[in-house]
Amino acid sequence: NAGVTQTPKFQVLKTGQSMTLQCAQDMNHNSMYWYRQDPGMGLRLIYYSASEGTTDKGEVPNGYNVSRLNKREFSLRLESAAPSQTSVYFCASISKEVGGYTFGSGTRLTVV
């Protein structure tokens, strides 16, 4: 099925560990995004990539890095995880046809 695929679905990290969240879309969209969702705060943009080869900071980029590997894939890396990064992370891509974002099903990350 066409859509946005995120892996892993769940992850527990120790403080200071690193990991990469993977995202891939098969809809040939140019723009891809990483959001984090915290209780009472809605979705906040971490980084986005308007097209292959470009990335830009969003509202809350500190502590994260991203890579737009190709048109399909956009990964989010935590170099040294902190408890404040415990959150649900959503990847999304956008199409003019849909008129808005298509979201993946999320990665639930806990940093202890």
Partner 1 sequence: GQQLNQSPQSMFIQEGEDVSMNCTSSSIFNTWLWYKQDPGEGPVLLIALYKAGELTSNGRLTAQFGITRKDSFLNISASIPSDVGIYFCAGQLTGNQFYFGTGTSLTVIP
Distance from first CA to last CA of the chain, Å, rounded?
Answer: 35
Q: Which is nearer to partner 1, 4 or 15 (CB)?
A: 4
3: DSSP letter: S
Which residues contact partner 1 (rule: CB under 8 A)?
4, 31, 35, 40-45, 48, 50, 58-59, 90, 92, 94, 98-106
109: DSSP letter: E
CB of 56 to partner 1, least distance (A): 9
Q: Which is nearer to partner 1, 75 or 102 (CB)?
A: 102
Q: Which is nearer to partner 1, 56 or 79 (CB)?
A: 56
CB of 16 to partner 1, least distance (A): 28
Give the gyration radius of the chain's Cα atoms: 13
CB of 99 to partner 1, least distance (A): 4
Q: Which is nearer to partner 1, 17 or 52 (CB)?
A: 52
For residues 91 and 93, give the distance between their C-alpha atoms in angstroms, rounded to a whole number. Answer: 7
CB of 104 to partner 1, least distance (A): 5
Please spell the DSSP secondary structure of 64-88, one letter per residue. Answer: EEEEE-SSSBEEEEESS--GGG-EE
Give me 94's structure tokens: 């956008």
